[in-house]
Structure 1
Amino acid sequence: MLPTRRPAPLDSDEWLYEPAYGGVRVIVDVTPGAGPGHVRIRAAGGRDVTATHLAVVEALATLTRRLKAPVRLDGELVGDALVAFDVLADGPLDVRPLPLVARRARLERILTNVVSPALRLSETSPGDGRALYRRAAERGVTAILAKRADSPYHGGRSGDWRVIAVTRRRRPAAAPRARRSNASWARATHDGALPRDPERRRIVEALVEIEARGGHGALDLGEGRVLDVTHLARVFWPAVGVTKGELMRYYTRVAPWLLPAVADRPLVMQRFPQGVGRPAFFQQHAPPAAPPWVRVETLPSDRVVPSRLVGGPLPTLLYMAQIGVIAQDPWFSRVASPDTPDHAVLDLDPMPGVRFGRVVDVARWIGEALERLGAPSVIKTSGATGLHVYVPLAPGTSYTSARLFCQLVATLVSARHPDVATSERAVDRRGRRVYVDFLQNSRGKTLATVYSARASAWAGVSTPLAWDEVTPALDARDFTLRTIDARLARMGDLWARLRAARRFDLETVAPGLLDARRLKSSA
């Protein structure tokens, strides 16, 4: 499928916008298995160029080992990298008749945790290409692409993909950069105000000093606890220049507000040893080399994972950041009561091509539905593109009951607003809607906790909101590692409302309806 040079709007919900990479267009076939021969790269006319792009083949090796069925990708070779922007076949299924947003969702799933410098996912901006256009103009790029969100994949040229010419802008000449000493660099950090607490202030200052000296050193955490830290100067978020050291300083500053949300809860880790956009992996079990002062627990009913990290103290939080864990993902229940969650959660996840404003709409409808049911609720950003709505639960509530209650709310909202919201499990059937996920309410499932950093390109933070902030003006990208300190100073800890809220008894919705024992067979 090739684009045409025809006018297209720069601001429309009907379109997705992408950079024009200017590379060599290729089709890539990837089949399951280890060893050579599982990747084939073909350029125009079917010419096989696999042998001349071994870096891409090596990057795709991770995918070949993970796949259960073949996939066919569409993309461009840009330098020594493959930029993938579409998928044509997923296993035995020809996905070309599917709308672009559904194919994009499949592509993101296929490439989860396998992207690398030689294998990238194309940037996409749903509904609004103006920022992409401005950036292209500033960089002297001559075009961007507009793709109709509901378009199937056609052979040849199609008006569903269009080239938008970019008018160049002259960039002012950059002033010469003075060479900084380590001391001046430390003074120029992007950190918020130093903590008032002397111990946390000392740790922040020590982290700044270690990063300025090259990023490797011993961090004194007090009480005889020493953490060997490495690569603090490594840029973890390339798009915004946030380093690993800055992540650790951020967590030290917000610890008083974050740690209560993870205290006594098992944690699931997603580790990014080299930062965002590089290979990552999930880990359930506690690392064997965890220091003795990091809390590790074995749950009596846990037959799969022998031991888990448990949240609580600052040293555990910093140890996890040191081993590349960006987000804090706790269970909804605690170690002492693993089968009874403290809260139920509705996770609002926009499908590709859906603006954040639609997520805001669905969140408000959910808030109204919960209010009608008499359920207290608090809301936060996910730190990426979604929103999370929490309902505090009465002690002893089961996961089954929490899940059924959230399913009820999700179904009510989706039925009332079927063009915007869906609780459909099958990705291909969700369309360009906001997925209201109630299935997170299960033992062992997690979401990024409040004040957790996220692996979003802009270094987002999962941030609590007041309900009156949930308006069309809300922009999730406003909440980052570099903006939360000022917000906390201005608004305080809005998440304290969850801890102080009335615990909701689900029996008040419909007595007996949500009794987990009676509904166990239907869960």
Structure 2
Amino acid sequence: MSAKDALQRYRARRDFHKTPEPAGRAARRAHADGCYVVQRHHASHLHYDFRLELDGVLKSWAVPKGPSLDPAVKRLAGQVEDHPLGYASFEGEIPAGQYGAGQVRIWDRGTWQPLDDAHAGLQRGRLRFRLLGGRLAGDWILVRTSGKDTQWLLRKTADAFALPGHDAEHAPAALAAPSRKRRRATAAPPATLAPQLATLVDAPPETPGWRYEIKYDGYRMLCRIHDGKAQLLSRNGLAWEHRTPALAALAEGLARALPAGGWLDGELVVFDAHGHSSFGALQAMLSAEGPADSDASRLHYVLFDIPWWDGRDLRSLPLSQRRAVLESLAPALPPHVQLSTELPGDGPTVWAAACALHLEGVIGKQQDAAYSGRRTTAWIKIKCRPRAEFVIGGWTEPKGQRIHLGALLLGVWARSSGKPATLRYVGRVGSGFSRAQLSALHQRLVRERRARSPFAPPPRLAGEQVHWTRPVLVAEVTYTGWTTDRLLRQAAFAGLRPDKAANEIEEEATMSASQLAQPAKRPRQSGRSSASSADTAAWHGVRITHAERVVFPDAGFTKGELARYYAGVAGWMLPWLHGRPLSLMRCPQGTQRTCFFQKHWALAQTLPEGLMRVDVPGEDAPYIAVQSEAGIVALVQHGVIELHQWGATLPRLDRPDQITFDLDPDPALSWRVIADAARLVRGTLEEFELQSFLRSTGGKGLHVVVPLRRGRSWEEVKTFARGLAQHLSGLMPERFTASMSKSRRHGRIFIDYLRNSAGNTAIVPYAVRARAGAPVAMPLAWDALDGKTDLRGAHFHIGNAMRHLEEHAALWDTFNAARTTLAVRHVRLMADA
């Protein structure tokens, strides 16, 4: 039965000229995790309406005594007519004389997952499912009783979310106040989490499906609560809870009030006498130069999202359902922690009202969008006046009565393909400073003084006495517009932004409201109709379905973002893929679900465009190889994340053309130890007249790769690699081991030479790893080991790898020219070793 037909009984019972209930319409969406709602309905008698989204409607039951978390309690549940999806957000008073007259209030809401086939379960009268909501959680069962088809029993099953003696009329919010048993059962939240960022647009869209909130003038702050402690983390991952007593008290209060633990997302603000958030007052309160008697009670933490809670990753849920979970915590929140307020009305009306009240602007969020740890158009920001962050590159001497400094010289980073980033001068700001700010700024700038201009090209400032500084400080500035030379007009200083990294500050592009896509649709269940156009994308002619599916839950990256990354680097990857058999790591449902290696492509399977079969002697089924950029993107469509290549190419798969040494360290070893080890391997190879190249793996180690002219056999190459590994482990047994044994690796680096055999593989340069943070295996310059930055793990990921690649595009350009024949004498020498 269609959703339209299913609602006929619902509509026939109601007069929508008199009742505020939604009339409903046929809904086509079918979420992988449907919504559920429980409404407390005080009609002729008090009861609870229990509703599950299925097939575009809400399947509904009236539960007289309400759901119970006690597995020993069975609640009568009478099935009633299907309700429209819009009823999931309905609260209000149904007038007397109308069907169901009385008060309706939302008691609980969230998402549900069928544990078996939902349609078959409803038909046979036994439906098993899982709930994630504010009050209800865990596994449940609905069983039809004998007799009338509409009579069911609702019961909680015994699991970590069960609560003996639970009663709906006296029930705390399940996620806000979990039992001890339940807290022990929940998983720890991820150690890091990337925040969702908003795209700047020139005006709010006129399309439906958006939620609007005030754009607060403060610091974006994530909060991680675990094991009785709370961390306050800026958007670039810096811990703030120990910076001031006020922040420490805030963190302690959150940890005490919300023991379940997880990740919260919000904004640190200070409100002025008019109730507006004041960036200057916030800076004064949190800075060392601020007044000692500043009233810390004015510090507020405004929460607007909950990406992870009580052992559950909520990022793939639509905003409306995450908000329901966040609202369930409201009664438990400590003082000065509050939820953001939804602004009623359409986008243009809300924006006009916010600007009339002299607010900074508004934030718009698509109600149906997942939480993605990137900047997307699912969240937008619309400002009432131009305001942005800029990098400070210098200052001028003061004139007249001004002391300390005259004006700050500002810039943004400009990046172009194949060239290093440059700091472009965009003008100056000489107003908006207090005397205390002038003094504090001057002290900091002097500490970072440098002799030469950081701007390229240097600005022409005739007649000015100028001082240059390292471009490490970020200033927030208001302005009225830009000149024809792209310089700021009437700029005023608003404050420093210690929560933002200077190397990330670029001129922010403004998108037109007309360019915004319709609200994103979430993936459909298998067996449903094909995904909507909002759920698809295409690169290099390859159509990517379910582009909004979150593939890396910890970082929020989607399938579409993974495809976009691979499409962007495809030109660089192709030389390393052409003619090489591949082994693939596939994660069809994302890295949080089952992943598996695939070596062969079955003959019966259709081969996507851009791929070719490779027959390998001795193998029962063919491998595949990539022929074009489209082939790389096609692999993403088939759930591939990692690409691993052979060390040989067609037509001579029996003759390797590279050697790979995988430096696999004990996780406890420092980056400095790993870097020194890689240099040592390089130096040893140079003694054999072999040039080597360096690559991060996206894991805990490094690869040292030697380009070869084809000539030696696999056995000869492996003999040399094994001998070199054993040679180094013999010279420095306290640092290296050539043994695979885990017990031998404690405090050492395993020099893995086993990749140098026929059929064994190594990660392809620029390939993504199916690991936390969506890391990328990145070619490196040898002098990259000289710095203090740890380049392992997710230092390079699909969100920043393209930028690094564009700046260092020529790193491995000499790889082919460096190919050398592996000398027979060196093979024999290592065999003896």
Query: What TM-score results when the alignment is normalised by the length of structure 2?
Result: 0.39
Question: Could you tell me which residue of structure 2 aligns to residue 295 of structure 1?
Answer: 611
Task: State the Cα RMSD in Å.
Answer: 4.0
Question: Could you tell me which residue of structure 2 aligns to residue 473 of structure 1?
Answer: 788
Query: Secondary structure at the residue paired with 2:804?
Result: helix
Question: Could you tell me which residue of structure 2 aligns to residue 316 of structure 1?
Answer: 631
Separation of aligned partners in 2, 1:379 and 1:296: 29
Question: Could you tell me which residue of structure 1 aligns to residue 566 of structure 2?
Answer: 251
Question: Quick check: 1:448 aligned with 2:760?
Answer: no
- CA offset at residue 254 of structure 1? 0.8
Query: Which one of 136, 142, 161 corresponds to residue 228 of structure 2?
Result: 142
The 1:79–1:414 alpha-carbon spacing in structure 2 relative to 1, beyond 3 Å, is same
The 1:363–1:186 alpha-carbon spacing in structure 2 relative to 1, beyond 3 Å, is same
- Tell me if structure 1 keeps the 8 A contact 2:616–2:623: no
- CA offset at residue 179 of structure 1? 2.6
- Tell me if structure 1 keeps the 8 A contact 2:416–2:806: no
Separation of aligned partners in 2, 1:480 and 1:248: 13
- CA offset at residue 486 of structure 1? 1.7
Question: Quick check: 1:386 aligned with 2:701?
Answer: yes
- Tell me if structure 2 keeps the 8 A contact 1:453–1:462: yes
Question: Could you tell me which residue of structure 2 aligns to residue 10 of structure 1?
Answer: none
Question: Could you tell me which residue of structure 2 aligns to residue 435 of structure 1?
Answer: 750
Question: Could you tell me which residue of structure 1 aligns to residue 595 of structure 2?
Answer: 280
Query: Which one of 555, 559, 562 corresponds to residue 240 of structure 1?
Result: 555
Would you tell me which structure has more strand in proportion to its own residues? 2
- CA offset at residue 490 of structure 1? 1.7
Question: Could you tell me which residue of structure 1 aligns to residue 807 of structure 2?
Answer: 490
Query: Secondary structure at the residue paired with 1:326?
Result: strand
Separation of aligned partners in 1, 2:819 and 2:379: 44
- CA offset at residue 169 of structure 1? 5.3
Aligned residues: 362
Pairs within 5 Å for 1:172-183: 172=268, 173-174=301-302, 176=340, 178-180=363-365
The 1:356–1:494 alpha-carbon spacing in structure 2 relative to 1, beyond 3 Å, is same
- CA offset at residue 221 of structure 1? 6.0
Structure 2, unpaired ranges of 5+: 1-156, 162-179, 193-220, 231-247, 252-266, 269-300, 305-339, 341-361, 370-374, 381-413, 419-515, 524-530
- Tell me if structure 1 keeps the 8 A contact 2:581–2:624: yes
Separation of aligned partners in 2, 1:270 and 1:220: 22
Pairs within 5 Å for 1:294-373: 294-304=610-620, 306-373=621-688
| Aligned sequence identity (%) | 28
Separation of aligned partners in 2, 1:429 and 1:244: 39
Query: Secondary structure at the residue paired with 2:363?
Result: coil
The 1:187–1:169 alpha-carbon spacing in structure 2 relative to 1, beyond 3 Å, is closer
- Tell me if structure 1 keeps the 8 A contact 2:189–2:226: no
Question: Could you tell me which residue of structure 1 aligns to residue 773 of structure 2?
Answer: 458
- CA offset at residue 296 of structure 1? 3.1
Query: Which one of 668, 671, 691 corresponds to residue 376 of structure 1?
Result: 691
The 1:168–1:265 alpha-carbon spacing in structure 2 relative to 1, beyond 3 Å, is farther
- CA offset at residue 246 of structure 1? 0.6
Separation of aligned partners in 2, 1:414 and 1:251: 38
Pairs within 5 Å for 1:407-446: 407-446=722-761
Query: Secondary structure at the residue paired with 1:435?
Result: strand
Query: What TM-score results when the alignment is normalised by the length of structure 1?
Result: 0.60
Question: Could you tell me which residue of structure 2 aligns to residue 501 of structure 1?
Answer: 818
The 1:484–1:77 alpha-carbon spacing in structure 2 relative to 1, beyond 3 Å, is farther
Separation of aligned partners in 2, 1:426 and 1:436: 12
Query: Secondary structure at the residue paired with 2:756?
Result: coil
- Tell me if structure 1 keeps the 8 A contact 2:766–2:778: yes
Q: Which has the larger radius of gyration?
A: 2
Q: Deviations over 1:284-305 (max 9, x none)?
A: 111544345242324251333x
- Tell me if structure 1 keeps the 8 A contact 2:660–2:762: no
- CA offset at residue 387 of structure 1? 0.4
- CA offset at residue 77 of structure 1? 8.2
- CA offset at residue 485 of structure 1? 1.7
Separation of aligned partners in 2, 1:415 and 1:504: 26
Separation of aligned partners in 2, 1:327 and 1:483: 18
- Tell me if structure 2 keeps the 8 A contact 1:333–1:342: yes
Would you tell me which structure has more helix in proportion to its own residues? 1
The 1:54–1:308 alpha-carbon spacing in structure 2 relative to 1, beyond 3 Å, is farther
Query: Secondary structure at the residue paired with 2:762?
Result: coil
- Tell me if structure 2 keeps the 8 A contact 1:410–1:423: yes
Query: Secondary structure at the residue paired with 2:810?
Result: coil
Question: Quick check: 1:270 aligned with 2:585?
Answer: yes
Amino acid at match of 1:343: Q
The 1:503–1:405 alpha-carbon spacing in structure 2 relative to 1, beyond 3 Å, is same
Query: Secondary structure at the residue paired with 1:493?
Result: coil
